[in-house]
Structure 1
Amino acid sequence: MNQPVPSAFLLEKYLNDQCTAQEKELVEKWYASINGKTDYLDTLSDAEQIHLQEETFAYIKTQIQKTEIKTQTISPTFIWLSGIAASLLIGLGFYFLNQRRENISQIAAFDTKKESISDTIYFRNNEPRMVMHKLPDGSFVWMHDNAAISYPRNFQKDKRTVTFSGEGFFDIAHDKTRPFLIQSGEVKIKVLGTRFNVKALEKQKMLEVSVVSGSVSVSAPGEKSTQEVILKPQQKAFFEPKSKRLTFFEIPSQAKKEIFEPVTIVFEETQLTSVIQQLEQRFDTHILLVNPDMNRCKLTADFEQQSLPVILEMLCTSLEASYTMSENTILIDGKACK
C-alpha cells in the first residue's frame, strides 16, 4: 500500500527533529515504502504524474527567469522531487542516497536562504548578522544567523502558526481573534500580542524563551502530561528535551539590557568611539571596529525605544558600513570618514 507523500514542510521538520511522534512515523513509513523503487513514478495516478510534471517544469522556468527581487520569498515547489525527478528530467541527475536521513535531507534540501513550497513560506538567515523578516500579519522577527522560520503564505482566520528554530526576537502584531502560535521542537509558544525572544539552538540542547512585554504561554510535553507556564515581562522559561523539564524564573534586574530590549538614546555629532562606548554601556555586548580609522566618523541620530539590531542597521547605513555578529561580539567594518 502506497504511503501518502509528506510535504516538504514536514520533511524539513523531520530533519530539524521538530516532528511529533505521529509525524515522524508518517515520514519513515513513506520512506520505507519507496526506498529502492526505481519505478516509483509509475505508482502515481495520471493526475498525480501530471501535477508532478507541472511543478517540476514550473520550478525550472522560475530558475531560468529568476532575477534579483526585493521580496523575502521565492516560490519553487519541487523540493521533495529529488527522489523521483530522474524519471522526468534525467539530466538533473537527482538520486537517492543510501542512508535514510541523508536521503530525506536530499529530498527536502533548502540550498537558498529563502524558499516557498506551494503555500508554505520558508526563510533561513544565512547572513552573519541579524536580519528582520516580516510576517503576513505585520508581525516581524529579528533572526540571528542560521535561524529558520516557516509559515503559511496566508494565516488561518482563527490562528497564526509558524515553525521556528535558532534564535530570534519576535514582535507580534496584536490580534485577539487570532492567537499567534510558535512550534519549536516539542515546545509550543502562544501569544496574543507581545515582544519576546526565543532561543532554540540545537547545539545547546535547550530551548529558552524570555519576555520583554505582554505575556506568553509556553507548553511542552512532560513525563506524564503536558507542562505549561505563563511568562510575564522579565521572566524566562527553559525546556530540556532530554529530561522533559520545563522551568521558569525571574530575570534579575541588571544595568545592561539584552540586545533585543528597546532603549532611547540620542547622538549629536558624536564620535564613533563614544557611540560604541555608550552602546556597550546600555547593552550586554562587545563592539569592535575592524578598521580603526573609522574612529574619526561621527554620528547624529535619535533612537527612541529601539533595539540594538535596529540601531546597528541605521548606524551602518549612515556610515556605509556593515557588521557581523558572533554571540555577544559585534564587528563593524567600513571605510574611514573624511
Structure 2
Amino acid sequence: MDNNGFNPEELAHKWLKGSLTPEEELRFEQWYADFNDEELLLADSKYTSAEEIRTIILDQITAQIEEQQVPKIKKIYPLWRNIAAAAAIVLAIGLAAFYRVPLLNMIDPVKQVQLSTNPGQYRQIYLADGTHVWLSPSTTISYPEKFRGELRNVSIEGGAYFEVVHDTNHPFVIQSGAVKTVVLGTSFDIQAYPRAAAIEVTVVSGKVGVSANTGKQPEMVTANQRTVYQKATTTLFKESYPNAAKFLNQRKGIFDFKGASLQEVTRELETQYGIQISLAPELAGKAFYGRLQTSAPLNRTLDKLCAVMETHWEKQGGTYLLHP
C-alpha cells in the first residue's frame, strides 16, 4: 500500500470491525504513532495528559464511524434480540417440561405408602387419583402418596379389586409378581398370592392389557374375560369368564358357592384366613351350595360350612381337620 492509497478513516473503520489485514494493521499503527501528542500545549486544556487526549480522539473517531451504522443496527439488533429471547423462552419451557418431575422429586419427594391386611381382614382405600381399591386378606399394596409423571404405578401381592379412575394420558400400571396390568379406567380383580400356583386378572368392566415376563405381546382383556399366568410353566393365556360379576361380592368377603367341590371351598378359606385345612378323603369331591362370609370369625364360618355338609371340624396343631 503506498501513501497515496492510504486512507486513515477507512482503516479506522476496518479496525473497529476487526477486518484489518496484517499489513493494514501495521500501517494504521504507524500512522497513529506519528501524532506527536506530547508536543501539544496542555496549559490551557482541560486534559491533563497526552494519553487522555489520545483516548478522547479515539472515542470521537469511533463515535463518528458508529453513527453511520446506527440505522442498519437498529433494524437488525431488535430482530436478533427477539429471536434470541424467543429461543430462550422455548428452551426454558422445554427444559422445565423435561425435568419437571425429576426436579419436583428432588425438591418435594413423593412418599411411598405400603399397606398390609391381616388374615381375615378386608380393607378399602382410595388412591390420590380417586381410584377405589378393595384389599383382600393377607394382601400388601405399595403406591405413591401422589402420582407424578406419565404413569400411575402401584404394586400388589395378594388379592384386590380395583375401580380405576379413567385418565387416558396417565395409564394405571399394576405390578403383581411377574404380571403387569395396564389400565386406563375400568373395574377388575387381581389374585396374586405368593403361595398360589397362578396369577389371575379378571375384568368386570372396561378393558385392560396384561403382560408377563415372556416377551410376548400383552393380552387385551375385556369384560367377562380373564388371564391366567401359570407360575410353573411361565405361560399366560386368556379365557372367557362369564361369572366375573361375582367379584363385586367377593371384594367384601361374600362368597357364593353353587356346587363347588368342598376341596375348592376349603382352598378359598385357606387363602382368606391364612390357615391350613385338611379334608378327609371322602369329603374332597362333595359339592357345596351356600354363602360364606369370610369377614366373619373363622370358627363361625367353619361352623356354618360343617352344618351344611354334615361334618365337624377340629384343630390339631396349626391345621384344621374336617371329618364326616
TM-score range, shorter chain: 0.3 to 0.5
Q: Give the greater-gyration-radius structure (CA).
A: 2
TM-score (norm 1): 0.42
Which structure's residues are more often helix, by fraction?
A: 2
